[in-house]
Structure 1
Amino acid sequence: TFVRISISTALITLTSIIIFVLILPNYTISHNGGEYTSMQLVFVSIISLGLYFGFTMMQTIRHRSYFISPENKLSKNNALHKLPIKPSRKEMYISILFLILCLGIVVLLAKLLSKDVEHIVKWAGAPKSLVGVIIAGIVLLPECLAAFRAARNNQIQTSLNLAFGSALASIGLSIPVIAITSVVTGIRMSLGIDTKSTILLGLSLFIITISLATGKTNIMQGFVLISIFLIYLFTIIIP
């Protein structure tokens, strides 16, 4: 089981950022081709960054108890335990430093692998767009493995915290970097996804919303989401 209010908060934040970044560019009229103008991109980046930091502050400061597994809150006498002790400032700064260092290493490794991955994809005759999916999978692999281990140990709250936190960070933090790069270099970037991807994305968000509405999950919900992802990969290779 898990705390529904924590997941609903993460889900509405993630859904909003996804719509702002991947869907809305297809319907603005200032620029064609699923692109934002520089001013639009900067504004959306500020909003996305604000939503991400707002969620992070809620998760770590204001409502920490929402994101703790119900099993960890109750003792044998159903008395509430105290919240985990907050780390010291020194521990927090060290953790942030190592987090940035590890993320940097993962990104650099992904960049080094990109040429080899592109060569393999080209050799296999698959579309070049598959390279981005593979690189994204490599970058997100540590969080995916951690979430999988937590779910396997029946720590559903921890698994969902990792999954949603990773998704929010991936979009909420990358968009400001894209905005800065686009404005400084003048490179135009297409953010809007095509109709096929929009349909599958909407279906995924719909399934997730229904699956997490009850506060419990089962293996069938996971199978459905995996099947949607496999369909997405298949239609990239064979459009």
Structure 2
Amino acid sequence: MRRMLSVPWTLAVPPFALFALVLSWGRELPTVPAIIVAAVLAAAVLAAVHHAEVVAHRVGEPFGSLVLAVAVTVIEVALIVSMMASGGAKTATLARDTVFSAVMITCTGIVGLTLLIATMRRRVAMFNAEGTGGALATVATLATLTLVLPTFTTSEPGASFSTAQLAFAAVASLTLYGLFVLTQTVRHRDYFLPMRADGSVVTTEDHAAAPTTRATMTSLGLLLLALVTVVGLAKVESPVIESAVARADLPPSVVGVVIALLVLLPETLAAARAARRDRVQTSLNLALGSAMASIGLTIPAIAVASIWLDGPLTLGLGATHMVLLALTVAVTTLTVVPGRATLLQGGVHLVLFAAFLFLAISP
């Protein structure tokens, strides 16, 4: 009975959220409408997670996590480009802040939450070190090439790439992301499949019949619609967030952090649900895949958009953020290499996530 009642809700929320987005787009929202829009945004996130799980169940891993990661990132890129087009020079660091926030949220927040949930259910969380290690190596390389090197290059003043350097970073990002997708879905797909407690790979779902083709296509369409409304409503809420940040006398980069948190909510909830079902590998696929897609798709899109966008583009991180990034890569490497993790590793990642949030508020 509960399941039957939940189906109309998941079908109705994405169109209703789109209706709310149309009504609120381009308007300055007072307090009460802003709260209503925030509630609709939360409902759209929950609906997106539901439909993503339907699609993931149909296509299986690792394709399911790839669908959600790419879908969210493509729409996130559209949000960044649209905000940069309308924001001018004041959005010079928006792409950097958003991409860095996505990397930290996924590699510390989502990974930490996944390990915490999994190790609370079982004493040790099991996953495939080969697949997860390859994903982490790709994320670390992409982050260094696009977010660290601009601080040290000398062709342009400040933490910016020259046109040639930005083009190289864009091509390198697309190449690495394409190679990872090929590895994940074709050549070494078994490296990214969930593992049982005894170390065996789960090649098929142990329960519940796969949804029909019609149900899958319906969920895919509603997933894309829900993701569009999530990002659109996040942009509608961004002036409210900006004014709240300004009133609280917080750094402007906090806006990018908050928006990244909103946009990554579907992946966070999907990863948590997978961890509760002992699908730790699926959760890690979502986390590292989202970080990789955020860099691998955003930087090339920004490189192309910079042809017509006015104003500077600052990609290089400051010293504090570089230290956090280096520590995150080191800790995640030590977590991934054994192929198993305990509650301690989950706690370390969550403390790093808390440090990221604290330093974003109090740099």
Q: What TM-score, normalized by structure 1, do the two folds share? A: 0.87
RMSD over aligned Cα, in angstroms? 2.7
Measured in 2, the distance between the counterparts of 1:91 and 1:14 equals 34
Q: Offset at 1:65? A: 1.1
Asked if residue 122 in structure 1 is aligned to residue 282 in structure 2, the reply is no
What is the match of residue 23 of structure 2? Answer: none
Measured in 2, the distance between the counterparts of 1:100 and 1:18 equals 27
Asked if residue 193 in structure 1 is aligned to residue 317 in structure 2, the reply is yes
Q: Offset at 1:112? A: 1.1
SS at match of 1:183: coil
Measured in 1, the distance between the counterparts of 2:156 and 2:220 equals 38
Measured in 2, the distance between the counterparts of 1:4 and 1:39 equals 36
Q: How does 1:19-98 map to 2 (within 5 A)?
A: 19-71=144-196
What is the match of residue 269 of structure 2? Answer: 145
Q: Offset at 1:13? A: 0.7
More displaced 10-residue stretch of structure 1: 64-73 or 171-180 = 64-73
1:74-98 CA-partner distances (Å, limit 9, x unpaired):
8xxx7x87678xxxx9999988766
Q: How does 1:176-215 map to 2 (within 5 A)?
A: 176-215=300-339
Measured in 1, the distance between the counterparts of 2:257 and 2:131 equals 28
Amino acid at match of 2:332: I
Measured in 1, the distance between the counterparts of 2:236 and 2:310 equals 25
Does the aligned pair in 1 maintain the 2:195–2:202 contact within 8 Å?
no
Asked if residue 175 in structure 1 is aligned to residue 305 in structure 2, the reply is no
SS at match of 1:125: coil
Percent identity over the alignment is: 40
Asked if residue 8 in structure 1 is aligned to residue 133 in structure 2, the reply is yes
Asked if residue 107 in structure 1 is aligned to residue 231 in structure 2, the reply is yes
Q: Offset at 1:73? A: 10
**Residues 95, 55 of structure 1: alpha-carbon distance in 2 compared, 3 angstrom cutoff:** farther
Q: Offset at 1:11? A: 0.7
Gaps of 5+ in 1: none
Does the aligned pair in 2 maintain the 1:114–1:131 contact within 8 Å?
yes
Does the aligned pair in 2 maintain the 1:38–1:182 contact within 8 Å?
no
**What count of residue pairs does the alignment treat as equivalent?**
233
1:98-131 CA-partner distances (Å, limit 9, x unpaired):
6654443332222111111111112222222111
Q: Offset at 1:222? A: 1.7
Q: Offset at 1:208? A: 0.4
SS at match of 2:338: coil
Does the aligned pair in 1 maintain the 2:193–2:202 contact within 8 Å?
no
1:185-223 CA-partner distances (Å, limit 9, x unpaired):
243210111000100110011000001111101222121
Does the aligned pair in 1 maintain the 2:194–2:202 contact within 8 Å?
no
Measured in 2, the distance between the counterparts of 1:135 and 1:141 equals 10
Amino acid at match of 1:233: L
Q: Offset at 1:149? A: 1.8
Q: Offset at 1:53? A: 1.6
Measured in 2, the distance between the counterparts of 1:29 and 1:83 equals 52
**Residues 59, 218 of structure 1: alpha-carbon distance in 2 compared, 3 angstrom cutoff:** same
1:125-153 CA-partner distances (Å, limit 9, x unpaired):
22221111000111111101111222233
Measured in 2, the distance between the counterparts of 1:45 and 1:99 equals 28
More displaced 10-residue stretch of structure 1: 124-133 or 91-100 = 91-100
**Residues 186, 128 of structure 1: alpha-carbon distance in 2 compared, 3 angstrom cutoff:** closer
Does the aligned pair in 2 maintain the 1:2–1:215 contact within 8 Å?
yes
Amino acid at match of 2:300: P
1:3-43 CA-partner distances (Å, limit 9, x unpaired):
11100110111111000111011111101211011221122
Measured in 1, the distance between the counterparts of 2:165 and 2:312 equals 12
Does the aligned pair in 1 maintain the 2:195–2:279 contact within 8 Å?
no
Does the aligned pair in 1 maintain the 2:139–2:291 contact within 8 Å?
yes
